[in-house]
Amino acid sequence: MQKMPSRKQAPVVGIEHRPDLRPLTEDEVRFEVDMCIGCDRCMNACPVPMSSLVHIADLNRATISDEISPLVARFTDECVMCGSCVPVCPVDNHRDLLMLSLKQRLGVSWDGSVDMNRLLDYLPPGWNLSLLVSRLREQPMFSDPQIVPENYLLHMVTTSKMLSLLPGSVLVREGEYGRSMYFLLEGHCELTSVGSDGTVLPVAVLRRGEYLGEQGMLTGQQRNATARARTACVVLEVPEQVMQRLMELVPAVRRFFGQLNNARSIESLLGRMALFQGIAAADLYRIAEETQVRQYDRDERLFSEDGPGGPLRESMHIILEGFVKVARRTTAGTGHHKSDERIIAYRQGGDYFAGGLDLLGDGRAVTVTTITRARVAEIPRRTLLALLERYPEVNQRFTMRLQQYRDAASAASTGIFDPLVLSRTEVADPSQEAEARAGLRSLVGGGVVEGTEVLVIDLDKCIHCNECEEACARRHGHSRMNRKGMVVGNISIATACRQCQDPVCMLCSRAGIARLPSGEVYITESCIGCGICAERCPYDNISIMTLEDEVNAPDTWQRFSNFFTKGSGKERGHRSLPILHSSAAPGPLNTRPSSNGYDELRKKVAIKCDLCAGYDNQACVQSCPTGAAIRVQPTTFFGSTEDILRRREQ
């Protein structure tokens, strides 16, 4: 029996989407390789374009021996661990875990040599390698060579873009979306922001050794300032995928940016909250430093109203981003989905809970669970107590608010009404209230309010002619939307990408899914259809198309009848998805040139609505004969959660 080479414990990168992976032991690896019957179904199912060049025998040999061909090494590096190979295996092998073991043995490509030719091509005139490294070391997160080896920096540079800016050039614009980071290696950059009255306000001047764009890189939010070169600048533009790779390899870099971002978010939010008005900036900064920020995934519990999951009294939870649902225990079987919990409210970024109490509601203990991905700041008890002691007015505001809600709740014990609106005395119709809450639950619980551009269909106008879907198919080769969806009142939320504020689908190491500066989330030329984004989308708005799904060319009669049904104008029905017949572009982390044309042909591709980016209108909205289909911003169309409840009660 061949002895397996000893495994290095190298970190494996690019598997954030598979937190449940458990590496196989040596015996398990050997067993699974022995079980493999060499049918190649896993390679056929693999979306990586070069999988068609790799034979399963070579892969198995590489897994259990030192005979690793360059092709297998490259394939291992490009494997995105999507898991497509697992369900097709007739012997139930875990080919993804076998690839994981191979990745662990081969290590990260960034541990290897740097393509010096490529690197030297990147350098501006007059620059050399040592100057480049010294300038990078001036950045605070790269300053320690023990923490960030030079090799990593050089790999980062070869996968990034060196920009030489003339004075006056705009680097980033306020309000645009972007996830790249920019490191200033030479020159000065000024940051400006547009005030509420439209005037351009200076914010800061960045110098050599400083950086910008970290908030966009971490959170995907819009740029909050415009950066313009004041002098001639040399800037290193690092794509988000490259930064994520670096942060995976060097956790200290992730901590650096994480702490910075968290502190800024908290400071900014606290400064806007009425409860914390009057607090000195230095104290806000100290609170931000001492506050812990936690990231929660969907359907994760923050705290319970009772039991061990409950928060300490006088601690404070502030929602920085995301939506949560607030529930309270009720009689078993009478709650949401026949559970013993009744949802009483929804909260979003900027809302808070003190000591587990719903201070924006009735002030009583609640159980809070996330609906979307959320970031929550937890101010520790001692910090909060110190603040309340130092600022009696803040303490007074807390106390008053709590008392106000308790008084309102006790006065409302005979009726159902919004305790915030004390002037209302009539009792609302419970059935209408239930219907309003059901609608609200659908909108918030279904994640509709998370979107920025939601396709809604007014069913009172829709005549179900399917023109919207057919128009989408004519324009893009395959329909990217589906009329079927959640129905709230007379509005149907169609199944089409909602361009979420915080798109959880944008986790692609190949940058196969990206966001335009104007906000449209689109599928790029790098997409290989691995399906990771489709799995992550909580609303099933991303589909994966394979080459086999393509319809054969229509016969003569079909073409004749298509003339009348699909038209002959500018938007004649495409016969196939154009992107499926083009090569897959390399991702930002892939710097190796392809050996031949075959390893770039994609087998699958993701398709999703991108608001018809590149066109001057949206096909679905344009083609609807009754105007039933429109794109809306949920908070504008449906209103805030409080508005929805109040409106339905009127």
Partner 1 sequence: MSIFTKTTGQAVAQNRPMPRVWKTPTSRACWLWLSFSLLLYLVIFALYLAAIKTQAFPGPFNQPLLSFGIVAFVLVLATGTYSLRRRFARGLPGKAQDWLWMHTWIGIVALLIALLHENFTHILNNYCQNLSCFGNAYWGTGALLALAALVFTGIIGRLLDRWQAHTIARDANTNGVGIARAIEERILELEYEIERLAAGKTEPFKAYCLQALDAGADTSIRVPLLDAREMPDFQRASQTLQTRQQFVLSLQRQQRARFIIRTWRSIHISVSCLALVIITFHAVMELLTNVFHILHI
Q: Measured from the CB of residue 490, what is the shortest distance to partner 1 in angstroms?
A: 5
| CA pair distance 521, 519, nearest whole angstrom | 6
- From the CB of 636, what's the least distance to partner 1, in Å? 11
Other C-beta atoms closer than 10 Å to the C-beta of 369 total 20
| 90 φ/ψ sector (left φ>0, alpha ψ -120 to 50, else beta) | alpha
**Which range in 77-85, 125-133, 546-554, 568-576 contacts partner 1 by CB under 8 A?**
568-576
Task: Select from 199-207, 230-238, 269-277, 629-637 the region that touches partner 1 (CB under 8 A).
Answer: 629-637
Asked if residue 556 binds partner 1 (CB under 8 A), the reply is no
Residue 259 or 568 with smaller CB distance to partner 1: 568
Stretch that binds partner 1, among 185-193, 489-497, 527-535, 584-592 (CB under 8 A): 489-497
Binding mask 418-457 for partner 1 (x = CB under 8 A): --------------x--x---x----------------x-
Strands (E), 330-373: 341-348, 352-354, 367-370
Stretch that binds partner 1, among 232-240, 386-394, 487-495, 508-516 (CB under 8 A): 487-495
Nearer to partner 1, 149 or 335 (CB): 335
In this complex, which beta carbon is closest to partner 1, that of residue 248 or of residue 470?
470
Residues in the interface with partner 1 (CB under 8 A) total 47
> Does 342 participate in binding partner 1 (rule CB under 8 A)?
no
Between 191 and 611, name the residue whose CB sits nearer to partner 1: 611
Instruction: Give the neighbor-by-neighbor strand order of the sheet with 341-348.
Output: 301-303, 367-370, 323-329, 341-348
Compare residues 410 and 432 and give the one whose CB is closer to partner 1. 432
Q: How many residues does the chain have?
A: 650
Q: Can you tell me which of 135, 373, 483, 515 binds partner 1, judged by CB under 8 A?
A: 483
Alpha carbon separation from 407 to 129, 330, 402, 422, 573 (Å, rounded): 69, 22, 9, 10, 64
CB of 20 to partner 1, least distance (A): 27
For residue 539, which of 628, 621, 631, 451 has the smallest C-alpha distance? 451
Of the candidate spans 135-143, 181-189, 477-485, 507-515, the one that interacts with partner 1 by CB under 8 A turns out to be 477-485
Beta strands in 214-340 (DSSP E): 226-229, 233-238, 292-296, 301-303, 316-321, 323-329
Nearer to partner 1, 344 or 488 (CB): 488
User: b/e per residue, 183-196, with b = 16+ CB within 10 A?
Assistant: bbbbbbbbbbbeee
Q: Which one-letter amino acid corresponds to residue 115?
A: D
- Say how far residue 43 (Cα) sits from the centre of its chain: 29
Cα angle: 111, vertex 113, 118; to 5 degrees: 125
Q: What is the DSSP letter of 427?
A: P
- Provide DSSP, 490-533: TEEEEES---BSS-TT---TT--EEE-TTS-EEE-TT----SHH
Query: CB neighbours (10 Å) of residue 45?
Result: 20
Is residue 55 part of the contact set for partner 1 (CB under 8 A)?
A: no
| Least CB distance to partner 1 at residue 567 (A) | 5
Q: Is 484 in the site for partner 1 (CB under 8 A)?
A: yes
Looking at the Cβ atoms of 330 and 594, the one nearer to partner 1 is: 330
**Nearer Cβ to partner 1, position 206 or 448?**
448
* Shortest spacing between CB 428 and partner 1, in angstroms: 13
538-542 LR contacts (CB < 8 Å, sep 24+): 538/298, 538/372, 538/447, 538/504, 539/446, 539/447, 539/495, 539/498, 540/495, 541/495, 541/496, 541/497, 541/498, 541/608, 541/609, 542/497, 542/505, 542/606, 542/607, 542/608
Region near partner 1 per CB under 8 A, out of 17-25, 401-409, 463-471, 606-614: 463-471
CB 492 within 8 A of CB 485: yes
The pair of three-digit structure tokens given for residue 94, joined into one six-digit string: 């875990």
Is residue 643 involved in binding partner 1 (CB under 8 A)?
A: no
Angstrom distance (rounded) from CA 203 to CA 185? 20
Report the nearest approach of partner 1 to the CB of residue 444 (Å): 15
Whole-number CA gyration radius for the chain: 28
The binder of partner 1 chosen from 238, 376, 638, 641 (CB under 8 A): 638
Q: Which residue among 86, 119, 459, 601 contacts partner 1 (CB under 8 A)?
A: 459
Q: Classify burial at 322, counting beta carbons within 10 Å of its beta carbon; exposed 0-12, middle 13-18, buried 19 or more.
A: buried
User: Residues 6 or more apart from 469 whose CB is under 8 A from it?
Assistant: 479, 481, 482, 483, 620
Q: Give the integer Cα–Cα distance in Å for 531 and 53.
A: 21
**Shortest distance, position 348 Cβ to partner 1, whole Å:** 19
Applying the rule CB under 8 A, the residues between 490 and 509 that interact with partner 1 are 490-492
Phi and psi at residue 157, to the nearest 5°: -70, -40
Residue type, 523: I
Q: Pick the stretch among 61-69, 111-119, 202-210, 483-491 that binds partner 1 (CB under 8 A).
A: 483-491
Query: In whole angstroms, how close is the CB of 630 to partner 1 at the nearest point?
Result: 5
* 471 is an interface residue for partner 1 by CB under 8 A: yes
Interaction between residue 460 and partner 1 (CB under 8 A): yes
489 makes contact with partner 1 (CB under 8 A)? yes
Per rule CB under 8 A, is residue 186 in the interface with partner 1? no
Q: Minimum Å distance from CB 645 to partner 1? A: 11
Q: How far is the CB of 570 from partner 1 (least distance, A)?
A: 3
Q: CB of 173: closest distance to partner 1 in angstroms?
A: 30
Q: How far is CA 491 from CA 261, 439, 480, in A?
A: 38, 10, 20
Options 205, 625, 633, 640; binder of partner 1; rule CB under 8 A: 625
DSSP 415: S
Check: CB of residue 489 under 8 Å from CB of residue 639: no
Can you tell me which of 57, 232, 273, 487 binds partner 1, judged by CB under 8 A?
487
Selected from 65, 598, 637, 640, the binder of partner 1 by CB under 8 A is 637
Site string for partner 1, 571-610 (x = CB under 8 A): x---------------------------------------
Between CA 516 and CA 501 the distance in angstroms is 13
352 in the Ramachandran plot: left (φ > 0), alpha (ψ -120 to 50) or beta?
beta
Binding flag, residue 614, partner 1 (CB under 8 A): no
Listed ranges 312-320, 392-400, 574-582, 617-625: which one lies at the site for partner 1 (CB under 8 A):
617-625
Q: Which window, 21-29, 191-199, 266-274, 482-490, contacts partner 1 (CB under 8 A)?
A: 482-490
Comparison of 484 and 592: residue with beta carbon closer to partner 1: 484
CB of residue 334 vs partner 1: minimum separation in angstroms? 11
Using CB under 8 A as the binding rule, whether residue 565 contacts partner 1 is answered as: yes
Instruction: Give the binding site for partner 1 (CB under 8 A).
Output: 432, 435, 439, 456, 458-464, 467, 471, 474, 482-492, 564-565, 567-571, 617, 621-630, 637-638, 647-648
